[in-house]
Amino acid sequence: MGNCIICGTPVDGAVCETHQEDVVFRFDGTSPSQLTPGRYYEGSVDGYADFGVFVDIGDRVTGLLHRSELDRRLESLDWEPGDTVYVQVLDVRDNGNVDLGWSIRQRRREFRGVLVDDPDGDYVLGEGDDETDADEPSADAGEPSPETTSSGGSGEGGAQSASQGGAQSASQGGATAAGGETAATPQYAETTADDDALSRATVDAIDDQVGSLVRLEGEIVSVRQTSGPTVFELRDETATVECAAFEEAGVRAYPDVDVDDVVRLEGEVERHHGDLQIETEALTVLEDDDQETVTTRLSDAFEQEARPQSVDLLAADDAVETVREELLDAATAIRRAVMEARPIVVRHSATVDGYVAGSALERAVLPLVREKHTRDDAQYHYFERRPLEGAVYDMDAATGDVTTMLQARDRHGEQVPLVVLADTGATAESTDGYELLECYGAQRLVIDDSRGDETVAESVSVAVSPSIAAGEDATDLTSSVLAANVAAAVNESVRDDLRHLPAISYWETTPDVYTDLAAEAGYDDTAVSERREAVALEAHYQSYSDKRELVIDLLFDGAGGLAAHISEQFRDKLETELATARENLTVRGVDGVTISVLDTDAYTHRYDFPPTDLLLDALHRAERGRTDGPAVTLGLDDDELRVRATETVDVRDLGAAIADAVPAGGVYVVGGRDGTVSFLPGERDAVLEAAVDALGETLG
């Protein structure tokens, strides 16, 4: 009978059942059957496979850490064969296969004790064994030895690990509670003992200081509690870095430190899975003059670095010229969000224009995120594209974004994001969604070529929309043109990558300046059209997904083989559907106006490619050349009416005329002057007749 090395409880062995997961074991057995499922073991990387990592547990047993058990992508692991790692044994199968699980704790010090799992019984790691972990400083470097002998409180012969006792007590003021359990209470020491010898460093300068003690000052931008340490992300005026602080496994270290606190932090620079990380030894929340000094330093640096000196347009374009100042403001807001470690969420329409606009911003922002963050996977945490159905940022979309935002804030301590709307959100129907974001302090930014409403400018931080800025419609402009210019201002180094994107967003009558720009970048008319068609096809499938890597391949792959292959599928599917649609058109002449009506419920495959809007666009282009006068193509389903016309039609005016003629139709317009007319299914026929009459009167 002995005592648990963690709590001192009398136990037959070295650790009680309650604390099995608080210690790590070295395996001295020779057979998988001698392993104990549920325990954490020290192992070494044996090699990789497509489905996971093989890890040697001891000298004669190998287990598989399947990729489904990882908390990250397999490709993002930087483990090399022979590296020491920590895993949990999940199961030992009858055939001897060992299933392993991921351990967030990847340093011996993050466990509360170290034991040897021997077939004859567990025992405390002794002085004769190899006690130094590859990622642990040696004792003569000022770190306590990995395992210290203690009376264990009320029990006899108990042992306490350095991470629990020595290191924890030294840095966070650990105290021994009744029964031998260590109850560490963080003490917010101002500095380390050698206060004057340690001068302030900046995050961008610590890359070559691995193994050194540094002092940083900045703002906490996120707090993440793992099953091991608490991970604080600190941002100074140069970049951000993760700082691990260990209280005990799964227990919040420095509980009084939270997001937005201005702090001074001291610790040792290390590399954790290839990423820079600070092992925190002291953390202080600054107040009064100290806080103001750091806050002012950060604010001045961000303001100076965030705002571009000027905006150099991709090409001469009078419509874009009207929003030059808004382009500058938008670029500044995006750059500042990156510097402040604030997530950026881009909501864009699930169309070619939306995907190209969103991808232009993505192309500019990701390099800045990688530059400002020490984590290799930061680009997946701090920039996200979320395609949006329709041209309105409605309450449904806003509610989903706010829910995700609050979960990230409460679970992971993330800041409220900057929300960017691209090719959507410029009309008054989006203001309810913006008001919900505003309730939580989320900054809003709109980049949209639609005929927008001035009221939107009052609901967002920046509106990049010529119709809002100048009060004039820019009919030969796309959202991608605006977004590409914003992206070039955000990151000048990717300007050349963006030159062909505006041309891709035009289905017809591409302005010469953008055709020439694409040609200069090496994209002829065929290359441009293939990419347009390929993105259109992929935008339809999995429309809620950003498809980041696939879209990058389509838009920025110089060879173009993938785009050519997918564009062929696009043409085949579209031509098949167009042929069916033409056979089922109803054509009427009203006051000299040719009106073609397609019952999209009855004569299209509504949930297959192409989507209704894209089909109507193509159908209207095909039909309008058959008449010399005004031509209109209407798409009518159970409760929506879509309009395509050779002359400008204000859909809001059309909706008002229909509502007057069909007062019981529940008629309203979604998406502004270019939107759709919604109505009650029971008044479908009456709505169609009212629409035909109104169009004949307006255009005839």
> Where residue 154 falls among pLDDT bands split at 50, 70, 90?
very low
How many C-beta atoms surround the C-beta of residue 292 within 10 A? 12
CATH of the domain at 67: 2.40.50.140
* Burial class of residue 548 in the structure, from the number of CB atoms within 10 Å of its CB (0-12 exposed, 13-18 middle, 19+ buried): middle
Choose the final residue of a domain: 508, 532, 547: 508
**Which secondary structure element, helix H or strand E, spans residue 425, and what is its range?**
none
Q: Which residue has the tokens 């991921």?
A: 102
Q: If you search the block for the tokens 């008629």, which residue do you land on?
A: 667
What tokens were used for 444?
């809003």
* pLDDT score, position 179: 33
The per-residue pLDDT for 299 is 86
Same domain, 175 and 42: yes
Under the banding of pLDDT at 50, 70 and 90, the label for residue 250 is: confident
Contact of 587 with 634, CB cutoff 8 Å: no
Q: Closest Cα partner for 698 from 637, 662, 648, 661?
A: 648
pLDDT at position 372: 80
Q: Could you tell me which residue, 130 or 531, shows the higher pLDDT?
A: 531
What rounded mean pLDDT belongs to the chain? 85
* Integer Cα distance of 358 and 385 in angstroms: 7
- Cα separations in angstroms, 295 against 219, 242, 515, 624: 8, 19, 47, 61
- Determine the pLDDT at residue 528: 95
Residue type, 331: A
Q: Assess whether 349 and 440 both reside in one domain.
A: yes
Question: Region 407-430: what's the mean pLDDT?
Answer: 90
* Number of domains forming the structure of the chain: 4
- Predicted confidence at residue 16, as pLDDT, reads 87
The answer on 116 and 22 residing in a single domain is yes
Beta strand 123-124 pairing with 113-117:
antiparallel
Which domain covers residue 242, as residue numbers?
195-302
CATH number at residue 360: 3.90.1640
Same domain, 86 and 126: yes
Read off the pLDDT band of 130 (50, 70, 90): low
User: Over 60: is that where the pLDDT of 161 sits?
Assistant: no
pLDDT at residue 436, rounded to an integer = 97
Same domain, 284 and 333: no
Tell me, yes or no, whether 14 lies in a domain: yes
In angstroms, the CA 462 to CA 328 distance is: 10
Whether 156 shows a pLDDT value over 80: the answer reads no
Domain end residue (candidates: 242, 267, 302):
302
Q: Which of 302, 319, 342 is the C-terminal boundary of a domain?
A: 302
**What pLDDT, on a 0 to 100 scale, did the predictor assign at position 1?**
66
* 199 — pLDDT class (breaks 50, 70, 90): confident
pLDDT in tens, 487-545: 999 999 999 999 999 999 999 899 999 999 999 999 999 999 999 999 999 999 988 88
Give pLDDT tens digits for 385-407.
Answer: 999 987 799 999 999 999 999 98
Both 607 and 652 in one domain: the answer is yes
Classify each residue of 607-645 as buried b or exposed e, where b means 16 or more C-beta atoms within 10 Å of its C-beta: eebbbbbbbbbbbbeebbeeeeebbbbbbbbebbbbbbb
Does residue 250 fall inside a structural domain? yes
| pLDDT 10s digits, 339-384 | 888 899 999 999 999 999 999 999 999 999 988 877 777 787 889 9
Residue 260 inside a domain? The answer is yes
Do 298 and 345 reside in the same domain of the chain? no
Question: Do residue 247 and residue 121 come from a single domain?
Answer: no
Instruction: Tell me the pLDDT band of 173, cut-offs 50, 70 and 90.
Output: very low
> What confidence tens digit (pLDDT) does each residue in 69-82 have?
887 778 778 888 88
- Residue 475 is predicted with a pLDDT of 63
Supply the pTM of this predicted model: 0.66
Q: Do 35 and 174 share a domain, yes or no? A: yes
- The first and second tokens of residue 548, run together, are 């980041």
For the cut 50, the answer to whether the pLDDT of residue 566 exceeds it is: yes
213 within some domain: yes
* Residue with the larger pLDDT of the pair 151 and 199: 199
Least confident of 59-73, 409-423, 462-476: 462-476
Within a domain: 553: no
Question: Are 314 and 382 within one domain?
Answer: yes
- Torsion, Cα of 446, 448, 451, 457 (10° steps): 10
